[in-house]
Amino acid sequence: MGALTVSQEPDQNWDDLVRFWEEMDWPEGSKVGIIEGIITVSPAPGLPHNVIAARIQRRFTR
C-alpha cells in the first residue's frame, strides 16, 4: 500500500491545515506529515520490512 494524500482546499491557510492534521484520527503506526501543503499518510511498515530491517541492523552492529 502506498502513501495517501489529503489535498488542501485552495482557500485553506496553513493554520487550518495544521489543525486538520492534529484533529484527525490517523491509523495507528502510520507516518503522517505535511509536505508542500499536502497532508501525506504512509502506512506502518509490514512484517517483511521489519524482518529485513532487523537483519541489516544486526549486520551493522557486528
Instruction: Give the pLDDT of the chain (62 residues) as one tens digit per residue.
Output: 555 556 556 566 888 888 888 888 888 888 888 888 788 888 888 899 899 999 999 999 97
Phi-psi region of 37 (alpha: psi -120 to 50; beta: other; left: phi over 0): left
Flag whether the pTM goes above 0.85. Answer: no
φ, ψ at 4 (rounded to 5°):
-105, 135
Domain that holds residue 39: 4-61
Grid coordinates in use for 18?
495544521
How many domains does one find in the chain? 1
